[in-house]
Structure 1
Amino acid sequence: MKIENRLLPAVLVVEDETLIRMDVVDIIEDAGFTAYEAGSADAAIELMERHDNIKILFTDIEMPGSMDGLKLAAYVRDRWPPVAILIVSGAVGMRESALPQGSSFVSKPYVTSHITETLHEIATQLK
């Protein structure tokens, strides 16, 4: 079930690999969402503080810097509890107990349609 594009929440994409991040931003924008992008957890937190329309965090796990994607997700869950979290990684066998409560996990490589469907489902739940 899709919602009208003007009602879709903004998504923050956090990925340290520039080309992957650009591709994900294109996928998200093509699906009708507004996308912000960050190459690190620190940059992501700055964007979260500046843009209150960000309602979905899309983050990779493995990133350089002060925290990885799991720590970023936990930080966002604590500081901005209503924000939905979608964690992606090439790591196999990710335990649900390792994820912040209420987050979703998608393994890489992922299919574009799966990402867009998942984001639309999340957006519907946020309504």
Structure 2
Amino acid sequence: MNTNRHTVLVVEDEALIRFAVADALEDAGYQVLEAASVLEAVGQLGLNEDIDLVVTDVDMPGALNGLDLARMISECAPHIGVIVSSGRGRDDMTDLPQTVRCLPKPCTAAMMLSMVADMLKRRALVGDESFRRIA
């Protein structure tokens, strides 16, 4: 169980997937916030300064997708880790910032939790500034 109570924002437009991811994260001890679109995610990021990590799907309703969100976070709030999850091939994710991690769909809860824990651990070990360079 995670005793640091890191906060993870889950961005997924499919409610059942969002709930399943949020439940898995909560069961692992994380505090979880949810958003069903990029615009909702931006609102959550503006309201909650304690978000440590964002897990986002690529395909979203509206003009912005999860790749756009990952780029925005990397530019405007590089201290926040980002995991992009997609069933697409990695070809459209090649221009993402180096700190963004890609999680292929389908994946197990264990795979997702492992990647979340790894990103948060690296950030804690090397500090926010170094995390941006090596994550």
Q: TM-score, normalised by structure 2?
A: 0.86
Aligned residue among 37, 40, 43 for 1:40: 37
Deviation of 1:98 after TM superposition, in Å, equals 2.5
For residues 22-101 of structure 1, the aligned pairs below 5 Å read 22-94=19-91, 97-101=94-98
**Runs (4+) of structure 1 moved beyond 3 Å?**
93-96
Q: Is the 8 A contact 2:11 2:35 kept in 1?
A: yes
User: Which sections of structure 2, spanning at least 5 residues, go unmatched?
Assistant: 125-135
Partner of 2:130: none
Root mean square deviation of aligned Cα: 1.4
Q: C-alpha distance in 1, partners of 2:51/2:122? A: 15
Q: Which amino acid aligns with 2:29?
A: G
Matched, 1:106 2:103: yes
Letter in structure 2 aligned against 1:117: S
> Which amino acid is 1:103 matched to?
V
In the comparison of the two structures, how many residue pairs are matched? 124
Residue matched to 2:128 = none
Q: Which runs of 5+ in 1 are unaligned?
A: none
Question: TM-score, length-normalised on structure 1?
Answer: 0.91
| CA apart distance, 1:93 | 3.4
Residues 8 and 123 of structure 1 are in contact (CA less than 8 Å); yes or no, is this contact kept in structure 2? Answer: no
**Residue 13 in 1 paired to residue 10 in 2?**
yes
SS of the residue corresponding to residue 20 of structure 2 reads: helix
Q: Which range moved further: 98-107 or 42-51?
A: 98-107
Structure having the higher helix fraction is 2
What does the per-residue CA deviation read over 1:23-82, in whole Å, with 9 as the maximum and x for residues that have no partner?
A: 110011111111100000000011001111101010000001130000011111111111
